[in-house]
Structure 1
Amino acid sequence: MPSSKDAVIASLIKSFEAAPRREQPYPHWYLEHCLPTADVAELTALPFPAPALGGISGKREIHNATRQYFDAANMEKYPACKTLNEALQD
């Protein structure tokens, strides 16, 4: 079972606060432990297989048909998708 929305938010904030900020070549952070462990386990276990790209790369749009989204249908099927979406909307 995924954590609560508030637990995800707290984990993200804590990760940003603890992350070292780098200025070069542009402002960025190295985040660790961004999500609660339970959520990471559930998200990595989602049945979204990596598509076979057949060596084709280039435009992102080429592979749109193979993408999975955390949309309404997947939020209904997978609580971890819903929890993450709700946390990121806050």
Structure 2
Amino acid sequence: MAEATAAWLREALARAEPRATPYRHWLLACMLPGTVLRGIDALPVVPPAIGDTAGRRETHNSTRWFFGAGQRAQFPVCHALAAALQSRAMTRALEDHCAVRLRGGFLRIEYCLDTDGFWLEPHTDIGAKLFTMLIYLTDPPVGEDWGTDIYVSATAHAGTAPCRRNHGLIFVPGADSWHGFARRPITGVRRSLIVNYVTPDWRARHELAFPDIAVA
């Protein structure tokens, strides 16, 4: 499953729609094969009961769910997706397509289940994150927009990435890569994956898919 998933992701990357403003980013469609989507749907994860996030995911770190070493050992779909994203063929494709260096970094995959009241303040991901990929796993109800907000600055909104099941957004973090999720209704559960490659000094090793193996 891992090799097939990596090939599928590379094909999605090749079809990605590039955007140059307000910073380099790409919109993707049909990112994961149906077997992987169904496997993620079947994971025994329920939305955490949390209060105000204060605009940051780390406000409730104890409730977050990652495709870590334990999850990979327990759930085949977690291992398959992590192995696909860790593979040299996949990381080389990302490096070439996005002009980014991932070698020596570590893979981090978070499974997010956001409910009404969730929001994220505009931020850049700059620092320990080398690369960011968002994969949306649910279609929002009619009239609601659950896509990631893209900003020109911390206060100037530029637009919203299309949120449809199996679509996504990728970008290389930089001083201008402002994004977030403005307060708005979430009727149901906004499910998504956040894929990062992070620097070797990432402290929360349990969040890493392969905590002892860097990207080749």
TM-score (normalised: structure 1):
0.86
Corresponding position: 1:6 with 2:3: yes
Deviations 1:26-70 (A, max 9, x none): 111111111111101111221111112223333332211001111
What is the aligned length?
Answer: 87
Q: Percent identity?
A: 38
Which structure dedicates a bigger proportion of its chain to helix? 1
CA RMSD of aligned residues (A): 1.3
Q: Which amino acid aligns with 1:39?
A: V
Over 2 Å off, 4+ runs: 55-61
Corresponding position: 1:69 with 2:70: no
How far off its partner does 1:24 sit? 0.9
Q: Which amino acid aligns with 2:59?
A: I
> Hey, what's the Cα distance between the residues in 1 that align with 2:61 and 2:21?
32
> Hey, what's the Cα distance between the residues in 2 that align with 1:70 and 1:51?
16
Alignment partner, residue 41 of structure 1: 38
Q: Which amino acid aligns with 1:63?
A: H
Q: Which amino acid aligns with 1:60?
A: R
Alignment gaps of 5+ in structure 2: 88-216
> Hey, what's the Cα distance between the residues in 1 that align with 2:53 and 2:24?
31
> Hey, what's the Cα distance between the residues in 2 that align with 1:81 and 1:35?
13
Which structure dedicates a bigger proportion of its chain to strand? 2
Alignment partner, residue 53 of structure 1: 50
Q: Which amino acid aligns with 1:12?
A: L
> Hey, what's the Cα distance between the residues in 2 that align with 1:7 and 1:75?
17
Q: Which amino acid aligns with 2:36?
A: D
Deviates more, 1:49-58 or 1:74-83: 49-58
Alignment partner, residue 82 of structure 1: 79
Alignment gaps of 5+ in structure 1: none
Alignment partner, residue 28 of structure 1: 25
TM-score (normalised: structure 2):
0.38
> Hey, what's the Cα distance between the residues in 2 that align with 1:31 and 1:44?
20
